[in-house]
Amino acid sequence: MSTTSDPTSRRLGALITSAILAIAAVALVVAPTPNPASAMLDVDGTIAVSTSTACAVLTSGGIECWGGNESGQLGRGFTSLTEPPGTVDSISTATAVATGTNHTCALLATQTVSCWGESFRGQLGDGTTGGSSQPTPAAVPGLGGVVQLAAGNNHTCALTEGGQVICWGDNFDGQLGNGTIGGDDGTPTAVAGIDSAVSIGVGSSRTCAVLDDATVRCWGSNVGGALGNGDTVDSGSPVVGGGLTGVAEVAPGFGFTCARTVAGTVSCWGDNTVGQLGDGNRPVASSVPVPVPGVSGVVDIAAAASTLCVLTAAGDRWCWGANGRAELGDGTLTDVGSPLQLSDLPDAQALAAGGNTFCAVRDAGSVSCWGDNADGEAVGPGVKRNLLPAVMSPTTPASIGGGINHVCAVLGDGSVACAGRNSNEELQNGSLVPSDALVVVPGVDDAIEVSVGNYHGCALDTADEVTCWGANFNAQLGVGVGSNANGIADVGLSGITQVSAGGSHTCAVRPAAGPDDDQLWCWGRNQFGQLGNGSNVVGNTPVEVLRDWYGLERVSVGAEHTCALDDGEAFCWGQGTSGQLGNGSFTDSNVPVEVDGIGAAIDIFAGNRHSCAITGSGQVYCWGFTTLIGGGGSSAVPQTLPITNAVELAGGPDHTCALLDDGTVSCWGSGGNGGLGNGTTGPGFAPVAVTGLTGVTDLSSGDQTCALTASAINCWGSNEFGETGAFPFVLAPTAIALSGAVPATTTTTTTTMPDGSSTTTPGGTTTTVPDAGTASPLIIPVDPARLLDTRPTGSTIDDEHVARGRLDPADEIALHVAGRAGIPAGASAAVLNVTAIGPAGVGYVTAHPCLEPRPLSSSLNYTPGVNLGNEVIVELDDDGNACLFTSASTHLAADVVAYLPADRGFTAVGPARLADTRTSSAAETIDGRFLGRGTLAAGDEYEVEITGRSDVPADADAVVVNVTAIRATGTGYFTVHPCLDDRPNAASLNFVASVNRGNEIIAPLSADGTVCVFTSTASDLSIDVVGHITSERYTPVEPARLLETRDGPGLDTADGVASGIGKQTAGSTVRLDVADRLGIPSDADTVTINLTAIQGESVGYATVHPCLDTPPNAASLNFVPGVNGGNEIIAEVDANGQICIYTSAPVHLTADIAGYTT
């Protein structure tokens, strides 16, 4: 490799650096082909969350996933229940990831997609449906040019660089947008009518896109009005989503959708049952957008199933909606219908959500998650089921009872303690937070028995009376219908010997004082006649079952039916459509009917759609749904099971267990939640032994099963709410242990000092500065002045080029520069701050000297609705004009800050593209050389010939070039240098995954006229030349901080001056001393500074000027909420050796010196 022969000729540092503004919810583009990116810019797609799984793209380009893996969605080549974070097989160049319920897809640096996991609905995009799971990544055939990826429950969508949206998988609600509703499609298909999308958002069964005019289109499920078009009818084709304008990002949930606007506000529409619209009007739904009050400066949003969280520029997290599984991350499980402000993630950069879980990328590249952890998606591993018996409590209670997701026990002192679900006050502990440990229920004393229903519990005490607590929406507490009892309810019965709580009704046995007059009382839900009183009317208080009982022994309450034993005979009533009444019929009955063929029974159990009984010989019989040995349908008459030594029955909705006379337990039926206790989740068509359990004396079951031994309560099965002994929620953001960092948006200032050491400072831009020297002025500053403002309300210094109106796509304006604002007629080039204002689409500006044909280069990239500026050197034509071409509709403003005389060593050329490593048809160079080399690998160094091309002479010392990173696979940097043997420890451009970023720098040339570009991370590259320099008229200095408004450890200036002065308010001005500081002489005419805006609270700008009485109508740096953005600026120094910095909105500022002219 060539090296420079004259080190002194390499003293030219970075003179004009393009703004590197990382704008949330936008993407950058390389001309001439638009490259729309995703809704969360720098870190969009670097994390993804679904109902069971979470994944993160690392800076290395690899992916780590964690959580559920039953369909191989973790991509490790095998299936399992749950796994901690681990690497996805054969993925090393990922730029984004998307997760569905049981499948995952990755966007690669080649703009192709690979998917893995469940494929039954066609969600892997391989052209098939109904297939088995694929636990390793496989390419989606025929799909390319992808810039964003998103997944719903069982469908996937991709956004292409041409603005199309392509979807595949489940289309039950029309979410594929192919004009139909229903069916599956495993072949990626373009959504009809969408060809100008700039970002997409996908909910469970709905898809939305933001178009280049900053409006929204949605299609698919319209439950609750979630499409936003004023009705609730599903649509297989895109519809206008609520008529919103200025939209930057859209986030669909399950039955609602929210959008973030460029102005930092949020509007939502759809279902509002749990307050997910955030408008304080719960539960009133809206099929059109409603604004969310009280939240502003929003920079990112993410929707879980029924919860929304946002990040603001002020560093706060706001959330609202459902919180039953800790989705708000506020330490409670209480739903919130209005925005709740949280300040626990001040460094959060972006959010992702899915199911009932949220994750955030933090500025150090770490990930924190909160919410549902049932499958381990929040912190791993998953705890939603226990496949084997585990000690739930080391106590020996007198009685145990189990229901849906909670269990209760009678303790030795007669108190009752419960664990698990608490959303209906099942635990009565003063909160709605579940518990994985037994919590004493206050107000229940002297209990001898406890029974648990779906969402309520009841206890029988030594006085033979019944008390109940928990949910009461079906009067199951026996005291009339109410949402909750808010305490313990006395049912008002006495003389009770047994109580049984079921789905939403309860029954109690009261034997007669004499023979043949026993009573059975029931109360609660009665839709199917399950109260047995001859009606289907809800029982607000206990009603007597219509039968003469002669020896009533036991009652068992199921989901919607009831069974009882009377002198050894079995009777059932209520819902019978699955044959669960056992009388040979599949019809309901609101009075007891006798079960065929059961005599001398000693125990009976009623489940969801089945029933079982034990006879005195220990024989087990079952009837109803899917209880036949070997599987099958339903049986309305009892069937014999191969168990002849049973002594007790217990079960849940879809499984049954029997305690055997040897103290062991056998179970059968559904094992989906581990309910069989044999270490699997498969069904048990025949009874299977519960593993490792002996000495059992009592059983109880719901969604889980618990067994009482002499020393402990042992439970297995469902653990959705901690009912079997492990807490399944993460109540506050908790860090995930990953093997590497996730790309984050914070930029750094990395500079090469004269002695070769380096410094890195958060929040700045980048500069390469060789040894300091002295030179005469190369750049002549002028008072910053506005030369162009196309807006109707705009103004310029001389009222020329004002209120022209928005530029159309492919429009061009010839801007007169020379002869205005102090720019002489003989100037060869001007230094302009060019700003795109309110762009209607993803696009770029090419600044050039009005050439025909227009050159292939980009001076500024922009995206819909976001004001973005860049400082560039532009050559002037013979008439003193510069032409500004726009590829997409936008307003433009241009401010002049300096000019370059024709005789001072700078010569403008081009602009012309000298290198483009891409292999696509979009790639092109001026002479066909240095074209299509392919993506640079991490650690590569690319040598590009400069002189002798585009009129750059052989004796040029340096060139001014726009260097752009394209489709980077992770966070990284370029170092541009004159092919030195010892590459400088410096960064010329910082970039992040999937976002195209450019920077204009002065690049010293090697002796043979080349430059070398080192890349730390795999990326494509383009280089555009705009001029060359053949003399030394600029003096770089050792980079150092001149201004730091923040206050804290490590936040200081190099000399302690202008440090910790506080965040600047809107309309404030900093008067900054620069002369006689840090190597800047007292007679400096201009200084070149890296100015960085940090923690801006709203869209705004900074104007640097020589302390004029009135700040000029010009912008040196534009900033947006929540993103630290920087620009290298040439600033004129006033007679007092000062510069002034005006800010239009609250923001912190830093300023670093890079050089000066005298």
DSSP labels, 1030-1066 = -S---EEEEEEEEEE---BTTB--TTSSSBS--PBPT
Q: Rounded to an integer, what distance in angstroms lies between the CA atom of residue 970 and that of residue 57?
A: 8
Phi-psi region of 873 (alpha: psi -120 to 50; beta: other; left: phi over 0): beta
According to the model, what pLDDT value does residue 325 have? Answer: 86
According to the model, what pLDDT value does residue 735 have? Answer: 81
Top pLDDT among 20 and 479 is at 479
DSSP labels, 647-698 = EEEEE-SSEEEEEETTS-EEEEE--TTSTT-SS--S-EEEEEEPTT--S--E
pLDDT-based confidence at residue 929 (cuts at 50, 70, 90): very high
Mean pLDDT of the region 207-223: 93
Assess whether pLDDT exceeds 90 at residue 484: no
Q: Rounded to an integer, what distance in angstroms lies between the CA atom of residue 1105 and that of residue 1141?
A: 7
Top pLDDT among 218 and 868 is at 218
Residue 738 burial (CB < 10 Å; 0-12/13-18/19+)? middle
Assess whether pLDDT exceeds 90 at residue 504: yes
pLDDT-based confidence at residue 20 (cuts at 50, 70, 90): very low
How many residues in total does the chain contain? 1158
**Cβ-proximal residues to 779 (8 Å cutoff; 6+ apart), any chain:** 15, 831, 898, 899, 900, 1034, 1086, 1130, 1157
Assess whether pLDDT exceeds 80 at residue 55: yes
Sheet of 357-362: strand order equals 348-354, 357-362, 367-372, 729-735
What is the CA 856 to chain-centroid distance, rounded?
Answer: 36
According to the model, what pLDDT value does residue 996 have? Answer: 66
* pLDDT-wise least confident of 161-175, 691-705, 934-948, 1023-1037: 1023-1037
According to the model, what pLDDT value does residue 285 have? Answer: 95
| Domains of the chain by start residue, with CATH | 1-31+744-778+904-1033 (no CATH), 47-195 (2.130.10.30), 385-727 (2.130.10.30), 779-902 (2.60.120), 1036-1158 (2.60.120)
Assess whether pLDDT exceeds 60 at residue 750: no
According to the model, what pLDDT value does residue 509 have? Answer: 96
Assess whether pLDDT exceeds 50 at residue 462: yes
Three-state SS at 165: strand
According to the model, what pLDDT value does residue 806 have? Answer: 87
pLDDT-based confidence at residue 679 (cuts at 50, 70, 90): confident
pLDDT averaged over every residue in the chain: 83
Q: Rounded to an integer, what distance in angstroms lies between the CA atom of residue 39 and that of residue 150?
A: 10
Q: List 113's β-bridge partners, or say none.
A: 107
* Residue pLDDT, tens place only, 95-139: 899 999 999 999 998 889 999 999 999 999 999 999 889 999 999
* Percentage above 90 pLDDT, the chain: 48
* Residue pLDDT, tens place only, 240-260: 977 798 898 999 999 999 999
- Determine contact, residues 966/1019, Cβ cutoff 8 Å: yes
According to the model, what pLDDT value does residue 1052 have? Answer: 87
* Residue pLDDT, tens place only, 1017-1047: 889 999 988 888 765 555 655 557 899 998 8
* pLDDT-wise least confident of 6-15, 1017-1026, 1135-1144: 6-15
Assess whether pLDDT exceeds 90 at residue 743: no
Assess whether pLDDT exceeds 60 at residue 1122: no
Assess whether pLDDT exceeds 80 at residue 1128: no
Top pLDDT among 661 and 60 is at 661
Top pLDDT among 31 and 1091 is at 1091
Secondary element (H or E) of residue 1105:
strand 1100-1105
Tokens of 575: 């819902």
Determine the Cα angle at 1134 with ends 1132 and 1136, to 5°. Answer: 145
According to the model, what pLDDT value does residue 8 have? Answer: 25
According to the model, what pLDDT value does residue 745 have? Answer: 39
According to the model, what pLDDT value does residue 986 have? Answer: 53
Q: Rounded to an integer, what distance in angstroms lies between the CA atom of residue 1018 and that of residue 990?
A: 13
Number of H helices, E strands in the chain: 0, 82
According to the model, what pLDDT value does residue 11 have? Answer: 23
Mean pLDDT of the region 739-766: 36
Assess whether pLDDT exceeds 80 at residue 840: no
* Residue pLDDT, tens place only, 66-94: 999 999 999 999 998 888 899 999 999 89
Q: List 735's β-bridge partners, or say none.
A: 368
Mean pLDDT of the region 794-823: 91
Q: Rounded to an integer, what distance in angstroms lies between the CA atom of residue 586 and that of residue 428?
A: 39
According to the model, what pLDDT value does residue 605 have? Answer: 95
**Cβ-proximal residues to 1124 (8 Å cutoff; 6+ apart), any chain:** 22, 745, 746, 747, 762, 763, 1092, 1093, 1094, 1095
* Residue pLDDT, tens place only, 599-658: 899 999 999 999 999 999 999 999 998 754 445 568 999 999 999 999 999 988 888 999
Assess whether pLDDT exceeds 90 at residue 293: yes
* Residue pLDDT, tens place only, 511-568: 986 666 799 999 999 999 999 999 999 999 999 999 999 889 999 999 999 999 999 9
Mean pLDDT of the region 940-960: 90
Mean pLDDT of the region 815-822: 93
First to last CA, the chain: 36
pLDDT-based confidence at residue 1093 (cuts at 50, 70, 90): confident
Top pLDDT among 333 and 1072 is at 1072
Assess whether pLDDT exceeds 60 at residue 35: no
* pLDDT-wise least confident of 18-32, 731-745, 842-856, 975-989: 18-32
Phi-psi region of 224 (alpha: psi -120 to 50; beta: other; left: phi over 0): left
Amino acid identity of residue 1148, one-letter, is H
Mean pLDDT of the region 1078-1086: 86
